[in-house]
Amino acid sequence: MANVVVVGAQWGDEGKGKIVDWLSERADIVVRFQGGHNAGHTLVINGVTYKLSLMPSGVVRPGKLGIIGNGVVVDPWALVAEIERLVAQGLTINRDNLRVAENATLILPLHRELDQIREEAAGAGKIGTTGRGIGPAYEDKVGRRAIRLQDLTNFETLGPKLERLLVHHNALRRGLDKPLIDKAALMAELAAIAPKVLPYKDATWDLLDRERKAGKRILFEGAQGALLDIDHGTYPFVTSSNTIAAQAATGSGIGPRAIGNVLGIAKAYTTRVGSGPFPTELLDETGELIGQKGHEFGTVTGRKRRCGWFDAVLVRQMVKVSGIDGIALTKLDVLDGFKEIKLCVGYELDGERLTRLPAGQNSQARVKPIYETFEGWSGSTRGARKYADLPAQAVKYVRHIEELIECPVTLLSTSPERDDTILMRDPFAD
């Protein structure tokens, strides 16, 4: 059986949570490998809605181990709050089903504050961060001054590390005319939260190695989407980590050969939250209708998502960059009843036809979509669990998407319910 990496093939919000939860029935371990609590997964199980931000989706299933890998930046206060919220909903969260990498970087209150201060100061130049401190925490990680989970086990050595961190941050705050961070107060905050998060600490790379050799099936869960990748996304309107499939190895401490299949998630249309280019965005009644039918509001931020037609150019590009073997297509039912559906098959820029999104920010903002018009369907796809249950024209739409993105659709989601899923090929199969 192959291990599986699940990544978003658009700008996030593709429905990864439901797909990962559905696949976790076949997995033994679910690993988060990048991002932080800026991610948002909504799961609907037996009529109960669970909203996850930092926790691996597998925690909602009994007998599954969830791992927060070293590639994730962890806000310990957010983690504790999320655990408490899930426990209040009747779930059991303990060391039996949750481990956190001892070398994971921590998000501190000063990171959240800096994130928000910068966005406010940027004005029209803001990039649409969630303000949760993700970017500043990754900056400190790369700058080799971050506080990691393991550091909370020894407060004698933590003091000098905080001093090094505050030399940097207090210099920034002076320049921004903001109050300086008090080391003693920060130490007290960390001392209070440490006993609540340290029980989950583990050398997760070693744990994963042992479990893999024992034949356990591992599901690697990405956050955000490939188009928000720090290298391969629509820079600078991206997140602060690598979101493509290759990060699953680095962000969990497992060798790349241990990764089997890569499953990309894409909506049957396109959405984006926050600022940045969006070639197929619809600023009309059709865009509003898609948003209403799809309930397009962010799980974490509550922000209204921008909506547009399916962009085959972008998904094809992410298929190649992320090495995607198959696509899970979600929210097909949102397109039920449209007389016409458009598909972006290329771009036009300064009179030239393009088959990829250019890397330049200015060029990305100016590309014009080239559309194919596709006949819609009047029947309902919602809740379908077999291909035979789909309207013929809906099947043709899916098949045409496969041709355009040069990748098979191996799984089809037809509602938020986990069982409303059509499986053409099991990603865990060799």
Where in the sequence numbering do the catalytic residues fall?
13, 41
How crowded is residue 356: how many other Cβ atoms within 10 Å of its Cβ? 12
Count of helices and strands (H, E) across the chain: 12, 20
Q: How far is CA 102 from CA 73, 92, 152, 184, in A?
A: 11, 22, 10, 24
Q: Tokens 């994963």: give the residue.
A: 208
- Tell me, rounded to whole angstroms, the distance of Cα 298 from its chain centroid: 12
Strands 261-267 and 4-8: parallel
- Tell me, rounded to whole angstroms, the distance of Cα 302 from its chain centroid: 16
- Tell me, rounded to whole angstroms, the distance of Cα 414 from its chain centroid: 20
Instruction: Please give the sequence-ordered ranges of beta strands (E in DSSP) within 338-427, or none if there are none.
Output: 340-349, 352-354, 368-375, 409-413, 421-423
* Of 305, 361, 367, 317, nearest in space to 128 by CA: 305
Question: Which residues, in sequence order, are bridge partners of residue 6?
Answer: 221, 263
The amino acid that residue 209 corresponds to is D
- In degrees, rounded to 5, the angle at the alpha carbon of residue 45 between the alpha carbons of residues 43 and 49 is 50
The amino acid that residue 184 corresponds to is A
Alpha-carbon distance of 175 to 182, in angstroms, equals 17
